[in-house]
Structure formats: C-alpha cells, structure tokens
Amino acid sequence: MNVTTVGIDLAKNVFSVHGVDAHGKVVLKKTVSRGKLLECFANLQPAIIGMEACSGAHHWARALRSIGHDARIIAPRFVIPYRKSGKNDGNDAEAICEAVGRPAMRFVLVKSVEQQAVLCLHRIRSAVVAERTAQINQLRGLLSEFRSRHAPWPLSRPAPHPRHPRRRREPPTPPGTSASP
C-alpha cells in the first residue's frame, strides 16, 4: 500500500484514519484504537500525516515523527472548508487529509515536552489570577452592600514588595548622629 498523505481525526479511544496515494486515490480508510495507532503507522512508508490541533495532537505528532513520518498539525478553522458533508469522524479525517496536502496550508508548530510544560504553568497561573480577581470583585460587591466604600488593603491592591523601588525609604543617618530629632 503506497500511502503518501494521511488525515487522522483524533478522539478519546478510537481514531479515524483516511489515506490517499500520490494520485489522490483513497487507499486507506479505517478506524484504529488508541493502542494500535503507532503500530498501524509503523507498517507504512514515511508519509505526510495531518491532524487537527486539539488535546493530544502534539503528543501524537511527536510520536509519529519519531517513527519517520512527517506529522503536521492544522488549526481546526482551516480544515472546515474541506469537509464535504456532515461532521463525523470519517468526514473529518478525509477533510484533514485533503487540507494537509495543500501547498499553501499553514501549520501549528509541534511543541516539545518542555515547551508544553512551560505553557501549562502559564495557563494555570493565568487561571489562578483570574479566579482571585473574580473573588476579590465578588467580595467588593458584597462589602458595598454594607456601605463599605473602599475595601481594606488585600482587596484594593497588592502589598508592596520590601525591596520595591517605589517604596518610600528613610534616608540613611550619618554615623555618630542620633536618628531621633
């Protein structure tokens, strides 16, 4: 089987795979379980493999690249125009296969494990900050029901850092003089 381009619709447990040869003829159309995906592609000649950017796409792209394929990730909005009929796994895999073969298609860069770890930290921090802000705003609103115009320090602004450059400092006293007036 001479597959040159493959589209995979990633899912939770079962993936739809659609592959074509150099002439665009469909030569591979099946569903594969999560555990058998790499085994299925290990038996194929190196090919261009496309998948939508979603949860797990970077993992599968790295895994497929490690066995010699050219795995590419496409933003979902670029796949939609290539879907021929209703949205289902098979039609999505076919649309991804069509889209990945286009010469002017734009792809998402495949992230390394380290890049994804840093991105996770940033997203978690952003979520914590947003949650804290929401709680502060809610508490401010509740306090305003009791005629409190301004909330105390933790609700109004963060505490200054001890070494913050804008913190007011007393000038140093020269040696031999007393600090009190």
pLDDT tens digit sequence for 70-122: 999 999 999 999 998 888 888 999 999 999 999 999 999 999 999 999 999 99
Classify residue 112 by its DSSP letter. Answer: P
Alpha helices for 55-103 (secondary structure H): 57-66, 76-79, 89-100
Provide the pLDDT for residue 29: 93
Widest CA span of the chain, in angstroms? Answer: 94
Provide the pLDDT for residue 127: 96
| Helix H or strand E segment including 156 | helix 153-156
On the question of pLDDT at 52 being above 70, the answer is yes
Any residues with CB less than 8 A from the CB of 159 and at least 6 apart, and which?
153
Looking at per-residue pLDDT, the higher value among 59 and 176 belongs to 59
Provide the pLDDT for residue 66: 95
Most confident of 89-93, 161-165, 177-181: 89-93
- CA dist., res. 43 & res. 60, Å (int): 16
